[in-house]
Each structure stands twice: as C-alpha cells, then as structure tokens.
Amino acid sequence: MTQESVAVELRGIGKRFPGVIANHDVDLTIRAGTVHALIGENGAGKSTLMKILYGVQKPDDGTIAINGREVALRTPTDAIANGVGMVFQHFMLADNLTVLENMVLGAEKLHGIGDRARAEIRRISDAFGFGLQPDVLVEKLGVADRQRLEIAKVLYRGACIIILDEPTAVLVPQEVDALFANLRELRNAGNAVLFISHKLDEVLAIADDITVMRRGTTVGTADPHTTTKRELAELMVGSELPSPETEESTVTDTVELTLANVTLADEFGRNLLTDVSLSIHRGEILGIAGVEGNGQAELVETIMGMRIPGGGTIHLGTEDVTHWHTRKLREAGIGYIPEDRHRHGLLLDAPLWENRILGHQTQAPNAKGPWINRSGARKDTQRIVAEYDVRAPGIDTPARALSGGNQQKLIVGREMSGDPVLLIASHPTRGVDVGAQAAIWDHIKRARRAGLAVLLISADLDELIGLSDTIQVILRGRLVGTFDPASVTPQDLGAAMTGGQAA
Ligand SMILES: Nc1ncnc2c1ncn2[C@@H]1O[C@H](COP(=O)(O)OP(=O)(O)O)[C@@H](O)[C@H]1O
Ligand SMILES: [Mg+2]
C-alpha cells in the first residue's frame, strides 16, 4: 500500500518570532502514498511548520525538498505549483457563493468556470467519495461538507501533498469516520496526506507514519502498528522532570469559587461542559490540564459570564453569580487573563494607559462616578509598568509596540490591580519569553500567598505542576481526574488528558 518514494523532506527547519522559537532543528520525512500524522501538544510548533511547507511563513533555517528536489516556497502559490495544498483550521470559503464558484475562485485558469470545471469537480468528488454538489450554496453546507470542499479545492489546484491542520477538531465522531474514509482514498491514489492532531486514538486509527513534535522540534517517530497511546503521550509531553516550584501550601478553609454540576450546550444541543463541579479556596491555585478544545475555553467563558450555563450553579464566596454578566463579575473582584491577548486582552493600537482601563472602565482608579478618570488611569499605569517590569518607552506607547512578554505583563498587572479575590488565568505565560514567564509566575505566587484564589488553565504541564495546589484534568467537557501536583508526572497527566488511562 505504501510506496518508498519520498514526497517531502524537511531538514533543519527553524523559525523564530519575537520572543518565541516556534521551530528549531525540525527534520521530517513524508513518504508518498501515506497518511503521516504530525502530533504534539498545543504550542509544539505544528502549525508553524505546516505554514512553512505551504509558503505562508518563511523559515529562518533549513531546507525543503519536494519529490527529491530542493525548493524555495515563498508564497502559497509556489507551494501549490510544487503540489502542496493546505486546509487550515479555520475554513476560508465564501458563504454566499456555490460549491463550484468557491472551487474555481482564483483558479479560473485551470479548467475555466463552466462545464470543464464542473466535470473536474465531479471527477474529484467521485474519486474520493466527497459527494459534492456543484450548485449548492456554501452557506447551506455543514461543517463536514465544508471541510470536504476545502480538501477538494486543493486537489482541484493539483495538490498531491495535502496538509490538514487539526481537521477533526470541528467534527463529531461519525464525521471523523467519514473523513478518514476520504483520507484513505486519497492515500491509496498515491497522495501524501499530512494529518495534524493531538488526539491519539485518531492518530493510531489513520496514520501510516507518526512524527512527534515537542517544544518546537521533532523529537521522534513512531510506528502506529506497534506504539501504544501511552507511549505516544509520553513522547508528546517529554520525560524531562518538571521544575517543582510548589511552595508550602497557603490553601485556606474559605471557599472562593464553587461550581456545582455546571453544564453548557452549543447551539446544536451538543454538550460542551457536562456536570462540572469544582471549588477553589482562598490561597489555592487549581490547575486545569487538558488537550486544547476539551472545554477549557468554555469553562472560563461560563465563569466569566460570557456564556450562560444550561444547568448547575456558580458561587463566588457565598453569592450565587450563575447569571451575572461579565462587568458585574469583574466588579465583584474577578481578574481575568484571557487566552488570546490580542483578541480579548488588549487594544493594540491604543496606548498602554487606555489598555489599563479596558475591562475595568467602571472601577477605581479608572473611574470617578460615571466618568473615566484619565489622570487616575495614567498614574496607575505608571505603577503597573514599574511593578511588573513592563519594558516600554512610556505609557503613551501603543500596546502593539511591545513584545509579547511585555504585553502579557501589562495584562497581568492590570488584572491583579484592585486586589481581586479570584483570578482566572488562561495560558498566562504562553508565547512569552523565559524572563517574563518567571516574573508572571512570581506575581501569581505572591498573590496566592496573600489569599488569592486562582483558576489556572495551561497547556504547559510543567507550569501546571509547578504552580498548582491541585490539578484536575478536563476531557470532552468533563472533569475526569484529580491529581496531586506533588506526585503527578507529566506522563500521568498526558495519559489522562488523552483518555489513555482511567483516572
Ligand atoms: N505569527 C506568530 N507570531 C508570534 N508567535 C507565534 C506565531 N505563530 C506561532 N507562534 C508561537 O509559536 C509557538 C508554536 O505555535 P504553533 O506552531 O501554532 O503550535 P501548534 O500548532 O503545535 O499548537 C507558540 O508559542 C506560538 O505562540
Ligand atoms: Mg496548531
């Protein structure tokens, strides 16, 4: 079934972003006629590597050879000319156009826009079992059909090396089975399919070859016929020892946050959170471990009043806050470090002092009665910049001009202001440099000693183990296990996170 010819050969690939090494020393060999799984934890560098292979990102180091020939991929057009196509995590289709129109858009030269195009779409659809109907409007299509259309689009453009970045993240199990049937057809026709995932069951079900990435580099390959889920989980999280930072416990008897049987469903009635119960005491850090997309974001948004739970209750102290909205929760003393600092944490074009106000516009020192207190906010921004070592020319600098680590320190400083009782921290040190990471950890630990309750969501297992007083694992919207950070290993967590072990 598999052929020995090499479709893609990446050697020594490196890619740096300001403050982050996204890829270094990456070696990857993809055989033609195979499904090759690229696995790794969130942040391991998978998407960056694939964007390099698709000409979206330019590598700083290394070489790319396709079908034995070294190539320079400066743009996606170069990649497509070399037979490389990519389906992104977020689809790029025009809703108000038909399947056919989406297919030919930007590729009119290939088969025109009429009968020849229609025939080619038929051919692709029939060859791989896509079931595409050329004249249906894309807005009428479900997620799985949109995905098939995206795959068909790259085939239409002549791709024989097809990259799918976390394609199953958006699918329900039956849709995953159907996708895998399509992928097998693609492989059997001699294509190389690159399947990015962190779901180990799926990887073992579909892959011919597996390459594992960790912390920006490829750390090994595995044979899906002989490897276990547990071994893969260990490769993914690494066997390095955590740097245990857990200091003496400061956990008190006073419960600050309680969730009782919280459930949340999406618009189709599928459960995003099921029966989530937890409590966090003052002086306690509760860490949540989980593979991204298992309900962490929904949990945070539910606590923060951005989503309304379908069942269950949330208490802050003794107050029932289940139906409170975000502003009231913030005013009651919840600090929030959001997962995506660019979308939810900062106004990039606004100066630092205006960013100090963001989300806290009704609170001192930013407000005086109904008015914004400009000088109060400016003065307090000076304080944050000094206390949190935010390296910036001044408080009138736009947030965009700061490095990721300094942006994050500003957010942490803002969210710790006014002595919150509870801090919700989503990936507080993701993408920041080592110095800023240590500084952020110190601030969180200091606040914990002073009685702050913290909900810490992180993909960095060393961070979770080092900081947390208790760790719970979330899997498919349920809390499935509780672990003591003093004794748990990243391997144990990795196994529980992927359902590799009954916890
Ligand atoms: N455009 C970018 N600018 C800055 N940092 C980035 C960019 N893209 C990715 N990163 C960082 O590179 C690292 C690897 O990210 P990514 O390749 O998306 O990982 P994965 O797909 O395995 O989750 C992360 O720390 C991420 O924050
Ligand atoms: Mg990714």
Domain spanning 6-237, CATH architecture? 3-Layer(aba) Sandwich (3.40)
User: Are 6-237 and 251-333+420-503 in the same CATH fold?
Assistant: yes
Q: Measured in angstroms, how far is the CA atom of residue 494 from the centroid of ligand 2?
A: 18
β pairing state of 209-214 and 35-39: parallel
Confidence of residue 226 (pLDDT cuts 50, 70, 90): very high
pLDDT of residue 249: 80
Q: Which residues line ligand 1 (CB under 6 A)?
A: 17, 20, 22, 40, 42-48, 430-431
Radius of gyration of the chain from Cα atoms? 24
Q: Is the pLDDT of residue 131 over 90?
A: yes
d(CA 3, CA 93): 34
285-291: average pLDDT: 95
pLDDT, tens digit, 9 for 90 and up, residues 313-346: 999 999 999 999 999 999 999 999 998 877 778 9
CB atoms within 10 A of CB 244: 11
All residues at 6 or more sequence positions from 130 whose CB lies less than 8 Å from its CB, including other chains: 124, 148, 149, 151, 152, 182
State pTM to two decimals: 0.56
DSSP 451-488: T-EEEEE-S-HHHHHHH-SEEEEEETTEEEEEE-TTT-
Query: If you average pLDDT over residues 391-399, what whole number do you get?
Result: 92
Q: Which sign does the torsion angle of CA 313, 424, 299, 399 carry?
A: positive
Please give the biggest Cα pair distance in the chain. Answer: 73
SS3 284: coil
Q: How confident is the model at residue 433 (pLDDT cuts 50, 70, 90)?
A: low
- Read off the tokens for 376: 């109060």
Token match 């396709």: residue?
66
Check pLDDT > 70 for residue 45.
Answer: yes
Tell me the one-letter amino acid at 465.
Answer: I
Phi/psi at 243 (nearest 5 deg)?
Answer: -100, 95
3-state SS, 407-454, equals HHHHHHHHHHCCCCCEEEEECCCCCCCHHHHHHHHHHHHHHHHCCCEE
What proportion of the chain, given as a percentage, has pLDDT over 90? Answer: 69
Q: Which of 13, 15, 16, 20 has most ligand 1 atoms within 8 Å of its beta carbon, as the pocket-test mutant?
A: 20
In this prediction, residue 268 has a pLDDT band, given cuts at 50, 70 and 90, of confident
pLDDT for 175 equals 86
Q: Is the pLDDT of residue 455 over 90?
A: yes
Comparing CA positions, the residue from 113, 90, 94, 114 lying closest to residue 102 is 94
| More confident site: 26 or 446 | 26
Ligand lying closest to the C-alpha of residue 17: 1
What's the pLDDT at 4? 66
DSSP per-residue codes, 329-376 = HHHTTEEEE-S-IIIII--TTSBHHHHHHTT-TTSTTTEETTEE-HHH
d(CA 347, CA 405): 16
Determine the Cα–Cα distance for residues 164 and 233; give it in Å rounded to an integer.
21
Confidence of residue 434 (pLDDT cuts 50, 70, 90): low
pLDDT at residue 122 above 90?
yes
Which residue type is seen at 28? L
Q: What is the pLDDT of residue 361?
A: 85
Lowest mean pLDDT among 27-31, 122-126, 345-349: 345-349
Lookup: tokens for 401 = 């001009």
So what's the pLDDT on residue 247?
63
- What pLDDT is recorded for position 370? 83
Per domain, the residue ranges of the chain are 6-237, 251-333+420-503, 340-417
| Closest residue by CA, ligand 1 atom 25 | 431
Tens-place pLDDT, residues 138-171: 999 988 999 999 999 999 999 999 999 999 887 7
In the prediction, which pLDDT does 1 show? 38
Q: Which of 17, 163, 340, 432 to mutate to test the pocket of ligand 1 (most atoms within 8 A of CB)?
A: 17
Two tokens, residue 163:
């990259």
* Cα–Cα distance, 381 to 394 (Å, whole number): 10
260 Cα–ligand 1 center, Å? 35
Burial of 450 (0-12, 13-18, 19+ CB in 10 A): exposed
Quote the ligand 2 centre to 49 CA distance (angstroms). Answer: 9
Ramachandran category for residue 431: left, alpha or beta (phi over 0 → left; psi -120 to 50 → alpha): left
For ligand 2, the distance from its centroid to the CA atom of residue 331, given in whole angstroms, is 35
Tell me the CATH number of domain 251-333+420-503, given options 1.20.1250.40, 3.40.50.300, 3.40.50.150, 3.40.50.10800: 3.40.50.300
The ligand that comes nearest to the alpha carbon of residue 49 is 1
Q: Mean pLDDT of all residues in the chain? A: 90
- Contact by Cβ (8 Å): 441, 448: no
Q: Single out the residue of 29, 7, 8, 25 nearest to residue 16, CA to CA.
A: 25
Task: Categorize the per-residue pLDDT at 246 as very low, low, confident or very high, splitting at 50, 70 and 90.
Answer: low
Mean pLDDT of 406-425: 93
Counted residue by residue, the chain has a size of 503
Measured in angstroms, how far is the CA atom of residue 65 from the centroid of ligand 1? 23
